[in-house]
Amino acid sequence: MQISPAHIKDIPDLVALINSAYRGEASKKGWTTEADLLKGVLRTDIPTLTEIMNRLHAVILKYTSTEGSITGSVFLEKQERGLYLGMLSVSPLQQAGGVGKQLMKAAEQYAKENKCFCIFMTVISVRRELIAWYERLGYQKTGETKPLPTDTKFGMPTQALEFIIMEKKV
């Protein structure tokens, strides 16, 4: 196992991983799927990942298995509020095996190294199991909410959805 910053050459593998973790039939093999909440098979695409990887204060950390495949990733971006954490993804067949926790620990280490004293994220409010998992890792609901983007490029909601904001002091 190795956690390291992803590179532009990793984007096709990252797109496949992220989409398989969140959308489509493959995602239903894991517990983090959004397939029943948002119609569509894309959670991200190559142009979007390329754009975010080229941001000045952003990184995607990748978890590489001993076989050399990318089985987990997380997007991190230093912002005014602290370190934004998004798109935590683990291959559906590898979920519940500790990869997500290791990526979260690496994110906390990255936050400390970059003098970010808070990690924050947005989570779809109806994702109760996921929210509970983040709470077990020390994240707390802030009471703030944020609407889902109105651009349906990456999915059409099947019900009224909003994000909650969670954070952890590090």
Give me the DSSP letters along 17-82: HHHHHHSHHHHTTSS---TTTEESS-S--HHHHHHHHTSTTEEEEEEE-TTS-EEEEEEEEE-SSS
Domain housing 35: 2-169
CATH code at position 55: 3.40.630.30
Q: Quote the pLDDT of residue 154.
A: 67
Number of domains in the chain: 1
Q: Quote the pLDDT of residue 52.
A: 95
pTM over 0.75: yes
Distance CA 22, CA 145 (A): 21
Angle at which helices 11-22 and 46-53 cross, to 10°: 120
Closest to 29 measured CA to CA, from 42, 39, 20: 20
Q: Quote the pLDDT of residue 158.
A: 78
The rounded average pLDDT for each run of 10 residues, N- to C-terminus, in the chain (170 residues) is 93 94 74 72 89 96 93 97 96 86 97 96 93 96 91 74 95
